Structure 1
Amino acid sequence: MTYPNIPQYFAIDGNVEDIRPFGDGHINDTCHAVLTNPSGKRQDIVLQKMNTKIFKNPKQLMDNVIRVTDHLRHKIVQRGGNPARETLEMIPCRDGAWYYQDVDGECWRCYYMIDGTMSYEKVENPTVFYHSGRAFGQFMADLSDFPAETLFEVIPDFHNTAKRFRDLQEAIEEDLAGRGGSVPEEIQFAQKRKHIAGYMTEKMQAGELPTRVTHNDTKINNILMDPDSGEGVCIIDLDTVMPGSCVYDFGDSIRFGASSALEDEKDLSKVYMDLDLFEAYTEGYLRAVGDQLTPEEISNLSMGAIVITFETGIRFLADYLQGDTYFKISRPEHNLDRCRTQFKLVQDMEEKYETMQAIVEKHRPR
Structure 2
Amino acid sequence: MNTFSFLPELNRLYDFNWRHDQIIPFGSGHIHHTYKVIDGQDTYILQRFNKDVFKNPEIISHNHELLIKYMDYLNLPFRFPLPIVNVLGFTLSAVREDFFRISPFVAGVCLEEISEPSQAYLAAKAFAELILAGNNLNVQEFKEVIPGFLDLELRFNQLLEAIDQTKIPIEGEVKTLVDFFLSREYLVGEYKTWKGKLPIRLTHNDTKINNLIFSEDLKSVKAVIDLDTIMPGYVFNDFGDLVRTVACTQGENSTDWSEINVDKSKYDSLHQAFIDVGQGIFTQEELNSLHFGGKMMTCITGFRFLSDYLNGNIYYQIKYGEQNLHRAKNQMMLLKSLEKLEL
Which TM-score applies when normalising by structure 1? 0.86
Pairwise CA distance, 1:10: 3.2
Distance 1:349 1:147, change over 3 A: same
Which residue of structure 1 lines up, in the alignment, with residue 214 of structure 2? 225
The counterpart of 1:234, out of the listed 187, 212, 223, is 223
Contact kept in structure 1, 2:194 and 2:289, CA below 8 Å? no
Which TM-score applies when normalising by structure 2? 0.91
- Could you give the per-residue CA deviations for residues 242-298 of structure 1, whole angstroms, max 9, x where no partner exists? 111111111111111001011111111121111100011112222223321111111
Pairwise CA distance, 1:320: 1.5
The counterpart of 1:326, out of the listed 315, 325, 342, is 315
**Secondary structure at the counterpart of residue 156 of structure 2:** helix
Identity %: 28
Which residue of structure 2 lines up, in the alignment, with residue 293 of structure 1? 282
Which residue of structure 2 lines up, in the alignment, with residue 339 of structure 1? 328
Which residue of structure 2 lines up, in the alignment, with residue 362 of structure 1? none
Tell me, in whole angstroms, the C-alpha distance in 1 between the residues paired with 2:25 and 2:112: 17
Q: Tell which deviates more after alignment, 194-203 or 308-317.
A: 194-203
Tell me, in whole angstroms, the C-alpha distance in 2 between the residues paired with 1:240 and 1:293: 21
Tell me, in whole angstroms, the C-alpha distance in 1 between the residues paired with 2:65 and 2:326: 36
Contact kept in structure 2, 1:17 and 1:33, CA below 8 Å? no
Distance 1:225 1:73, change over 3 A: farther
Amino acid at match of 1:308: M
Contact kept in structure 2, 1:49 and 1:109, CA below 8 Å? yes
- Could you give the per-residue CA deviations for residues 100-155 of structure 1, whole angstroms, max 9, x where no partner exists? 2232x22222211112x111111111111111011111111111222212211111
- Residue 111 in structure 1 maps to residue 91 in structure 2: no
Q: How many residues align?
A: 338
Distance 1:229 1:190, change over 3 A: closer
- Residue 158 in structure 1 maps to residue 159 in structure 2: no
Tell me, in whole angstroms, the C-alpha distance in 2 between the residues paired with 1:179 and 1:11: 57
Amino acid at match of 1:19: I
The counterpart of 2:32, out of the listed 25, 29, 34, is 29
Tell me, in whole angstroms, the C-alpha distance in 2 between the residues paired with 1:69 and 1:257: 29
Please list every run of 5 or more consecutive structure 1 residues that lacks an aligned counterpart in the other structure: 357-366
Moved over 4 A (4+): 179-182
Amino acid at match of 1:113: F
Distance 1:55 1:351, change over 3 A: same
Q: Pairwise mapping of residues 82-121 of structure 1 onto structure 2 (< 5 A)?
A: 86-103=79-96, 105-115=97-107, 117-121=108-112
Q: Pairwise mapping of residues 197-276 of structure 1 onto structure 2 (< 5 A)?
A: 197-204=188-195, 206=196, 208-276=197-265
**Secondary structure at the counterpart of residue 107 of structure 1:** strand
Contact kept in structure 1, 2:64 and 2:82, CA below 8 Å? no
- Could you give the per-residue CA deviations for residues 320-343 of structure 1, whole angstroms, max 9, x where no partner exists? 211222222333333222212111
Distance 1:333 1:69, change over 3 A: farther
Which residue of structure 2 lines up, in the alignment, with residue 68 of structure 1? 67
The counterpart of 1:190, out of the listed 181, 192, 214, is 181
Tell me, in whole angstroms, the C-alpha distance in 2 between the residues paired with 1:313 and 1:238: 24
**Secondary structure at the counterpart of residue 206 of structure 2:** coil
Please list every run of 5 or more consecutive structure 2 residues that lacks an aligned counterpart in the other structure: none
CA RMSD of aligned residues (A): 2.1
Pairwise CA distance, 1:44: 2.3
Contact kept in structure 2, 1:258 and 1:275, CA below 8 Å? yes
Pairwise CA distance, 1:17: 2.6
